[in-house]
Chains A and B, each alone.
Chain A
Amino acid sequence: MSPILRIENVTKDYVGHRALDDVSMEVPRGSIYGLLGPNGAGKTTLIRVVNHMTFPDKGKVWFEDHEITEKDIFNVGYMPEERGLYKKMKVGEQAVFFARIHGMSKTEAIIKLKGWFDRLGIADWWDKKVEDLSKGMAQKVQFIITVVHEPKLLIFDEPFSGFDPINQNLLKEEILGLRDRGATVIFSTHNMESVEEICDDITLINKSRNILSGPVDEIRRKAGGNTFQVIYSGDREEFNSIISGKADLIGDTEGLIGGYNQQKIHIPEDSDIRPIIGAINEKLGLRSFQEIIPSMNDIFIRAVNGTL
């Protein structure tokens, strides 16, 4: 399937610094796409380029099969990191206003909005003023405003900040639900746990450049570098001689309670792991043989520090 969004060698300069430097990425249709990177890396600029809020100095942005136009922006729902709501306006009226600005009719807007308000448990707030809401409450309203007109592409900037764990889960479920109903979701976040849980693909931007892109599973496996953790009972020397020539030891062997030993090993990419497992199992008591897959948190830190 063709990607819904393709960013092609985009460069954006501000006075005195380059916010985006030759960034390319592809967002597959129907995926949940994580846009990661340290503060000030250029994520928000990238989102703004997609939203037509600013224009790239070089490069192109493609939406579906054509270069993105103003019309396509109406198919993009955007929730900025710093939430934007009229403080003095009533929640319901405000939501209807935004839904209509996004092209819905008044009746349709009210029906759809009431549905969302019920689902997120905030139906009672319809007539409250935004300034009377807590941060989390306002966040929910903002979320509904972003999604109510059912845009094809949703962009959330730090959607989980300001939510308690219960509401974070609620929001995660809703985002997955939107994806299942056909929307594509891009979200920028620092919360690596949520990336592992819901993202299909990611792009990691650091110092204005795309330094890592791809499906989450693949990235994690690659970052693991074919390292395994073996726990066995028996002689350490014997273990080392079995392994020698087939794999490299990483670090020292640790003794564990119950006489077990634990050892990290690296197996070359092209070799089969089954003979190694077989050999260990034959001579020693093999308790555990597990591939080490680094967390997104590790990957993030290593990638940003240039040690991946």
Chain B
Amino acid sequence: MNSKIRLIIEREFTERVRKKSFIIVTILTPFLLVLCMFGPMLLIGLSSDSAKTQKVAVVDNSQGQYVGTRLESDDKVEFSLLPSGTSTEEAHMRYARHEDFYGVLVIGEDILNNPGDMMLINHGTTSMGTEEIIRNRIQGILRNERLSRYENDNIDQILADANIRVNIRTMEVDTKTKNGDGIKASSTGASYGLGLILAMVIYMIIIVYGQQVLQSVIDEKQTRVLDVIITSCKPFELMMGKVLGIALVAFLQILIWGVLILVFSTIITPLVLGNMGIDLSSATQAMSASGSPEFAGIVSKITDLSYLSKLFISMLLYIVGGFLFYASMYAAIGSAVDTPQDAAQFNSVLMIPIMIAIYAMIAVMQNPSSDMAFWFSIIPFTSPVVMMARIPFGIPTWEIVVSIAVLYISFVIMIWLAARIFRVGVFMHGKKPTWKDLGDWIRMK
């Protein structure tokens, strides 16, 4: 590579990577991400761990329906049935303010026919969890009681029979088998999640690092550093150096994130969960053993090497192509203006295709093989985001090849156009250019 471009890449890269903000963001982001993913799990674990058994005093006015006596205690809620004849007021006075008791449950006279006639008196802090447990218990008792009225001996069997859970096993055609008639387990849910994550990553990279290219060019223009550099290197070299330098920073950051997330999720999380008595691998085994088809699909996806490598290679190609495509536009805009304020107008126009890509992606994921999905994954403005969201669903290779080819041809054209704006723009000071000016600069000899 040209030594000037290499020098500019080197400076752009080292200056950014050495910044404190880069180091902090790079280290903290995966940590926060893992925290967001596993945080709720940990918190639930912690709070359920520390939760003590709640004592509830029960006043059963439904004498003869025996609901109170059938309330079973466990380690979460302990029911203590007050002697019959205890009035609500008395129980209230004695137990509702008692600090050992969570509260007083008052069961109505005809609770069987009037299930709403129930009251929980408590001295302040209510807990959704405890309330839920009490409600479920009563509900269970009432349901069984009502069912038993039908006097059908097979009632338990009928119930078990009717209580079904529907699962669809998504299978996809395995193109690797001879006649293409083989199928393998798939998972729409997993494809959806994966597609969304991949598309969002590309979107973030384009926006965040594209803005850095814009800012970097404006900074150099403002400080007149450009005037000094440009006597020694061509505008094209400067622009490419900047774009590639920042691309390298993005690459490094993603690499570090990948490694850190891997470390967090394979080493640290099981350790933490293990400490809490949750065994991840046995949970996994239990789930596969139970034959959850959704889970089988996910496992089949994430263990399919050719699928993963296809995903990884196309991700890489789309990140590089998409970033260069947009970054060259950002560079052109940066060169044309004097201040970030002036850039805002152009910037917002550039945001439109990116936003369209996001909306299109959301729509496309409902039906990844529609015509709309196809065209949005060919048009280079939207293809990196939209196509990346579709690929996990299994897209014919030729479509991916066409889409990537179009993207790379367009990025070469875009860089050429951007360079033509850049070479004029960097020397323009003062007046904010119009779109027409940019067009004139492209045509300028």
The listed residue (B15, B224, B227, B233) touching A101 by CB distance below 8 A is B233
The listed residue (B4, B7, B223, B427) touching A86 by CB distance below 8 A is B223
Task: A70 to B7: give the CA distance in the assembly, Å.
Answer: 19
Task: A146 to B232: give the CA distance in the assembly, Å.
Answer: 11
The listed residue (B223, B230, B234) touching A87 by CB distance below 8 A is B223
B232 close to A84 (CB less than 8 A): no
A147 within 8 A of B: no
| Cβ–Cβ < 8 Å partners of A103 in chain B | 232
A80 close to B427 (CB less than 8 A): no
Task: Give the distance to chain A from B225, nearest Cβ to Cβ, in Å.
Answer: 4
B231 within 8 A of A: yes
Chain A, 33-81, CB within 8 A of any chain B CB: 48, 51-54, 70, 73-74, 76-80
Give the number of residues in A that approach B within 8 Å (Cβ atoms). Answer: 30
A77 close to B227 (CB less than 8 A): no
B159 within 8 A of A: no
B232 close to A80 (CB less than 8 A): no
B232 close to A85 (CB less than 8 A): no
Task: A79 to B228: give the CA distance in the assembly, Å.
Answer: 7
Task: A275 to B4: give the CA distance in the assembly, Å.
Answer: 68
User: What mask results when residues 210 to 222 of chain B are scored 1 for a CB within 8 Å of chain A, else 0?
Assistant: 0000000000100
| CB closest residue in chain A, given B234 | A70
Task: A74 to B232: give the CA distance in the assembly, Å.
Answer: 5
Task: Give the distance to chain B from A170, nearest Cβ to Cβ, in Å.
Answer: 21
A84 close to B227 (CB less than 8 A): yes
Interface bin, chain B = 10 to 19
| Cβ–Cβ < 8 Å partners of B7 in chain A | 97, 100-101
| Cβ–Cβ < 8 Å partners of A51 in chain B | 230-231
Would A78 and B227 be within 8 Å (CB), given that A53-B427, A73-B232, A97-B11 are in contact? Answer: yes
A80 close to B15 (CB less than 8 A): no
Task: Give the distance to chain B from A88, nearest Cβ to Cβ, in Å.
Answer: 7
| CB closest residue in chain A, given B229 | A101
A265 within 8 A of B: no
The listed residue (A79, A83, A87, A101) touching B232 by CB distance below 8 A is A101
| Cβ–Cβ < 8 Å partners of B378 in chain A | none
| Cβ–Cβ < 8 Å partners of A54 in chain B | 427
Task: A100 to B7: give the CA distance in the assembly, Å.
Answer: 8
A83 close to B15 (CB less than 8 A): no
| Cβ–Cβ < 8 Å partners of B11 in chain A | 97
B226 within 8 A of A: yes
B228 close to A78 (CB less than 8 A): yes
| Cβ–Cβ < 8 Å partners of A74 in chain B | 231-232
A102 within 8 A of B: yes
| CB closest residue in chain A, given B444 | A55
A98 within 8 A of B: yes
| Cβ–Cβ < 8 Å partners of B230 in chain A | 51, 53
A122 within 8 A of B: no
User: What mask results when residues 24 to 45 of chain B are scored 1 for a CB within 8 Å of chain A, else 0?
Assistant: 0000000000000000000000
| CB closest residue in chain A, given B424 | A54
| Cβ–Cβ < 8 Å partners of B225 in chain A | 84-86
| CB closest residue in chain A, given B10 | A97
B233 close to A84 (CB less than 8 A): no
Mind listing 26 A-B residue pairs with CB under 8 Å? A48-B427, A53-B230, A73-B232, A74-B232, A77-B231, A78-B227, A80-B227, A80-B228, A82-B224, A82-B227, A84-B225, A84-B226, A84-B228, A85-B223, A85-B225, A86-B220, A97-B7, A97-B11, A98-B228, A98-B229, A100-B7, A101-B4, A101-B7, A101-B8, A102-B232, A145-B228
Chain B residues close to A by CB (< 8 Å): 4, 7-8, 11, 15, 220, 223-234, 427
